[in-house]
């Protein structure tokens, strides 16, 4: 199934080059270094929204919808109809705005099927209780590797790319690929693999899989942090640029060496600032926990005391 899905993705990209490419418009949220995308078919004006952001002030415990409202304004300005709200994984660095966008614009909320593994792990960590279903039912659709879908007349396929988390998916839409956190810009490297269920060896193999796509394939990344010596944010690259120039995983890098580098590097990293609220919300498909008896919603902080 793995090679079959990859071969289908390659064939789809080749077909897309002779047809109409999807329009991709990005929104960059600098506080979380996150790129959100609206990708749409110019013939039918059908669209998908990938990796949306709900703004969150952690100190105040307050959300706002400025980033999501900009997406809504763009969709309405261009007369688009949203079919899909796609999450590449359960993010640990920002809250998803998918439910808010869905209420305003419609569309099916989708993620990879292995979100169920993530829900089981973090449901226990946050003591979510029996009211939190750990079966993916917070989402409208769960993708398996190789699942095909469409955005208007544009073909799309979901590829499972675990490693950063067990549930990471890359979405190949026409000739464009939305990689989530699997890859960063070539001058910055690769994502960490030390979250629960993460695996540096799986990450290497997932990246090598993506690098088998045609060189000219457009890659749209979920984050950018401005590599040393670069003074602007960038979040679009190509398979060829990654294959030749990625500082962590360019062609010729050995799997064992990558795993050693990634493991050593991850040991020096602090946890993302918004990991506790983000995971609690995103494992629920972007929904906040249910209100308690006083009508207030609470996010939990597990304590590891001496």
**Cα–Cα distance between 85 and 68 in angstroms, integer?**
12
Residue 301 lies in a domain: no
Q: What share of the chain has pLDDT > 90, as a percent?
A: 87
Whether the pLDDT of residue 243 is over 70: the answer is: yes
Q: Using one digit for the tens of pLDDT, what is the confidence trace for 137-168?
A: 999 999 999 999 999 999 999 999 999 999 99
Q: How confident is the model over 239-261, as a mean pLDDT?
A: 97
pLDDT band, residue 127 (cuts 50/70/90): confident
Residue 16 lies in a domain: yes
Q: What per-residue confidence (pLDDT) applies to 302?
A: 87
Residue 292 lies in a domain: no
Output the domain CATH number for residue 226. Answer: 3.60.15.10
Cβ pair 193, 204 in contact under 8 A: no
pLDDT band, residue 19 (cuts 50/70/90): confident
Q: What per-residue confidence (pLDDT) applies to 107?
A: 98
**Cα–Cα distance between 109 and 287 in angstroms, integer?**
12
3-state secondary structure 94-156: CECCHHHHHHHHCCEEEEECCHHHHHHHHHHHCCCCCCCCCCCCCCCEEECCCCEEEECCEEE
Find the domain containing 223 and state its range: 1-279
* Cβ neighbourhood burial of 118 (10 Å; 0-12, 13-18, 19+): buried
Q: How confident is the model over 52-79, as a mean pLDDT?
A: 96
Q: What per-residue confidence (pLDDT) applies to 270?
A: 94
Q: What per-residue confidence (pLDDT) applies to 17?
A: 84
Residue 74 lies in a domain: yes
Q: How confident is the model over 80-97, as a mean pLDDT?
A: 97
Q: What per-residue confidence (pLDDT) applies to 269?
A: 95
Q: What per-residue confidence (pLDDT) applies to 131?
A: 77
Cβ pair 81, 46 in contact under 8 A: yes
Q: How confident is the model over 105-126, as a mean pLDDT?
A: 94
pLDDT band, residue 2 (cuts 50/70/90): low
Q: How confident is the model over 55-63, as a mean pLDDT?
A: 93
Residue 147 lies in a domain: yes
Residue 288 lies in a domain: no
The total domain count for the chain is: 1
Whether the pLDDT of residue 1 is over 60: the answer is: no
Residue 303 lies in a domain: no
Residues 6+ apart with CB under 8 A from 144: 112, 113, 158, 160
């Amino acid at each position: 199934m793995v090679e079959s899905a990859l071969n289908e993705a390659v064939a789809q990209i080749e077909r897309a080059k002779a047809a109409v490419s999807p329009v991709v418009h990005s929104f960059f949220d600098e506080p979380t270094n996150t790129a959100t995308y609206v990708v749409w078919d110019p013939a039918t004006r059908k669209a998908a929204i990938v990796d949306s952001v709900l703004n969150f002030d952690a100190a105040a415990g307050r959300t706002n919808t400025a980033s999501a409202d900009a997406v809504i304004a763009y969709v309405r300005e261009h007369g688009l109809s949203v079919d899909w709200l796609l999450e590449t994984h359960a993010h640990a660095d920002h809250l998803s705005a998918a439910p808010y966008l869905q209420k305003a614009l419609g569309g099916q909320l989708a993620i990879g099927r292995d979100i169920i593994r993530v829900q089981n792990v973090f449901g226990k960590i946050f003591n979510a209780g029996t009211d939190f279903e750990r079966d993916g039912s917070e989402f409208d659709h769960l993708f398996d590797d190789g699942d095909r879908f469409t955005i208007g007349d544009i073909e799309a396929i979901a590829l499972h790319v675990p490693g950063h988390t067990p549930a990471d998916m890359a979405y190949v839409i026409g000739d464009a690929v939305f990689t989530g956190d699997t890859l960063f810009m070539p001058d910055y490297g690769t994502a960490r693999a030390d979250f629960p269920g993460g695996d540096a060896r799986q990450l290497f193999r997932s990246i090598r899989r993506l690098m088998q796509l045609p060189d000219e394939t457009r890659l749209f990344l979920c984050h950018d942090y401005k590599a040393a010596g670069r003074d602007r944010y960038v979040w679009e690259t190509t398979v060829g640029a990654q294959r030749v120039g990625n500082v962590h995983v360019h062609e010729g890098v050995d799997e064992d060496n990558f795993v050693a580098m990634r493991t050593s590097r991850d040991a020096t990293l602090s946890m993302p600032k918004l990991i506790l609220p983000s995971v609690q919300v995103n494992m629920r498909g972007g929904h906040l926990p249910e209100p308690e008896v006083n009508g207030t919603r609470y996010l939990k902080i597990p304590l590891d005391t001496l």
